[in-house]
């Protein structure tokens, strides 16, 4: 039987300016984000899709395609196994197909008009969005390595402006414009988090207001969740649990938390940390139990945004539990979660490793285990101890508490000598 060409995919590629090679590259990157392994697609793979020789790609490839295009595989013209390709489409589906083909024809004309040597406007497409999303992934990676740095905040804010400038750089579909607003909101939310992590709370609030407006224009539920969840964390850090609860509730009440238990689990875990800050022991335990239940329901193969994939897992849940029990004064339970977090943290989570190690030292110190606490605190890498504002502040508090509780102990002497060498090495 002769293969039937996938005209829907071809139309989508024309509309968004993708060649076979560039679409293969984009899907490979999405596969790497989803699975941790680089995809092996090339231009011939995409040409097989267009020619209809491959009617239903593998499951991971389908998820990556949906991540790139924002459309389910069936809308892109792929046919599940066992379904006859000649099945007559419903009238509305016929109209939709004609509309996509017509749009594709307009896109070709627009691309030709924008070619070098002509005066037509540039066509902005999903390939431009894809490039911005790749840079967003780089910002996320920098945050997990260094965290809280002014340079990360400034870079993210500049990229948000770059995404907005593309809105005026040429013509685009509504979907592309919404995606650009989503990119801008994502970058602003990263600038917001870098400012929170760096204890620059005034700047964080300014980024938050702009991020919230951009997220509304994008209609992206995932980025709305991120912004409001960050707002809850910010208010928790400044000691305003009432506002922290209110902001986190906005995130938790979004529809995405009912569709995806990963979002539900993160919202509940952060709720537990706020309960801890509010000295609500029962609320802390209840929220953590619910967060754990939700995490166990997560589909490991489901699609999630890169920022969520990069950090939320069992280790992060334990990190938030550690924060909650530390503020509650339940130091043995805090230490338990600290050890479990450190055992499960992924290698790229250097910032989280430093924060968790510092909190573990505080939990050990509070239990009177001075030698172990000092030994733990001295394991915090020098760059984090001196350059990450939150870590530096927590280590200063650790040293003051150690000297207050055991001023003549060998642990206090070791810590004083260690800090002298650390600061000397950085000056």
Q: Are 166 and 190 in contact (CB under 8 A)?
A: no
Q: Supply the DSSP string of 175-228, one letter for each residue.
A: HHHHHHHHHHHHHHHHHHHHHHHTT-HHHHHHHHHHHHHHHHHHT-HHHHHHHH
pLDDT of residue 98: 38
Q: Per-residue confidence at 111, pLDDT binned at 50, 70, 90?
A: very low
Instruction: Please give the residue that has the higher pLDDT: either 169 or 399.
Output: 399
- Report which DSSP code applies to 409: S
Residues 6+ apart with CB under 8 A from 272: 283, 284, 287, 288, 291, 320, 321, 324
Angstrom CA distances, 168 to 73, 120, 165, 219, 350, stand at: 31, 14, 6, 19, 38
Task: Tell me the per-residue pLDDT of 282-295, one tens digit each, with 9 for 90 and over.
Answer: 999 999 999 999 99
Q: Does the pLDDT value for residue 305 go beyond 60? A: yes
Q: What integer is the mean pLDDT of 29-47?
A: 82
pLDDT digits (tens, 9 = 90+) for 307-366: 998 899 999 999 999 999 999 999 999 999 999 999 999 888 888 999 999 999 999 999
Average pLDDT of the chain is: 86
pLDDT tens string 181-201: 999 999 999 999 999 998 999
pLDDT at 226 over 70: yes
Helix/strand/coil for 344: helix
- Quick: pLDDT tens for 117-132: 444 567 888 888 988 9
Residues whose CB falls within 8 Å of the CB of residue 226, separated by 6 or more in sequence, listed in order: 186, 189, 251, 307, 308
Report the 10 Å Cβ neighbour count for 153.
25
Give CA–CA dist 382/170, Å, rounded.
47
pTM of the full structure: 0.70
State the first-to-last Cα distance of the chain, in angstroms, to the nearest integer: 74
Give pLDDT tens digits for 67-82. Answer: 777 667 887 889 887 6
Name which of 8, 7, 135, 133 is nearest 64 in CA terms: 133
User: What are all long-range contacts of 398-407, with beta carbons under 8 Å and residues at least 24 apart?
Assistant: 398/358, 398/361, 398/362, 398/365, 398/373, 401/362, 401/365, 402/365, 402/370, 402/373, 402/374, 405/365, 405/368, 405/370, 406/370
Query: Could you give the 3-state DSSP secondary structure of residue 156?
Result: helix
Q: What confidence score (pLDDT) does residue 285 get?
A: 97
């Amino acid at each position: 039987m002769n293969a039937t060409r996938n005209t829907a995919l071809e139309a989508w590629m024309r509309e968004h300016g993708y060649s076979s090679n560039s679409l293969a590259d984009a899907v490979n990157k999405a596969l790497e984000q989803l699975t941790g392994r680089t995809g092996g697609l090339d231009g011939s793979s995409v040409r097989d899709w267009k020619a209809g020789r491959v009617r239903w790609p593998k499951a991971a490839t389908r998820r990556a395609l949906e991540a790139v295009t924002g459309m389910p595989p069936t809308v892109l013209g792929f046919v599940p196994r066992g379904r006859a390709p000649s099945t007559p489409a419903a009238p509305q589906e016929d109209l939709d197909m004609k509309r996509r083909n017509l749009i594709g024809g307009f896109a070709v004309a627009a691309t030709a008009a924008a070619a070098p040597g002509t005066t037509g406007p540039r066509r902005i497409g999903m390939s431009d969005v894809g490039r911005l999303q790749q840079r967003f992934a780089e910002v996320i990676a920098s945050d997990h390595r260094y965290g809280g740095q002014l340079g990360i905040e400034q870079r993210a804010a500049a990229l948000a402006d770059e995404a907005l400038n593309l809105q005026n750089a040429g013509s685009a579909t509504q979907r592309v414009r919404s995606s650009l607003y989503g990119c801008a909101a994502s970058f602003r939310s990263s600038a917001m988090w870098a400012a929170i992590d760096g204890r620059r709370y005034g700047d964080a609030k300014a980024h938050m207001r702009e991020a919230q407006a951009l997220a509304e224009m994008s209609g992206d539920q995932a980025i709305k969740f991120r912004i409001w969840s960050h707002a809850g964390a910010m208010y928790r850090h400044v000691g305003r649990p009432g506002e922290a609860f209110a902001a986190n509730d906005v995130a938790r009440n979004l529809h995405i938390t009912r569709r995806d238990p990963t979002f539900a689990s993160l919202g509940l875990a952060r709720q537990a940390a706020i309960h801890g800050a509010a000295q609500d022991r029962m609320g802390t335990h209840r929220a953590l139990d619910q967060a754990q239940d939700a995490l166990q329901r997560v589909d490991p193969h489901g699609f999630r945004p890169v920022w969520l994939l990069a950090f939320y897992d069992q280790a992060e849940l334990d990190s938030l539990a550690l924060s909650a029990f530390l503020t509650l004064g339940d130091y043995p339970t805090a230490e338990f979660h600290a050890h479990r977090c450190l055992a499960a943290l992924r290698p790229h989570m250097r910032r989280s490793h430093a924060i968790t190690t510092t909190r573990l030292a505080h939990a050990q110190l509070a239990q009177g285990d001075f030698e172990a606490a000092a030994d733990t605190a001295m394991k915090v890498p020098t760059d984090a101890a001196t350059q990450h504002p939150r870590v530096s502040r927590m280590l200063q508090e650790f040293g003051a508490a150690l000297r207050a509780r055991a001023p003549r102990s060998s642990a206090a002497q070791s810590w004083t000598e260690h800090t002298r060498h650390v600061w000397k090495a950085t000056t």
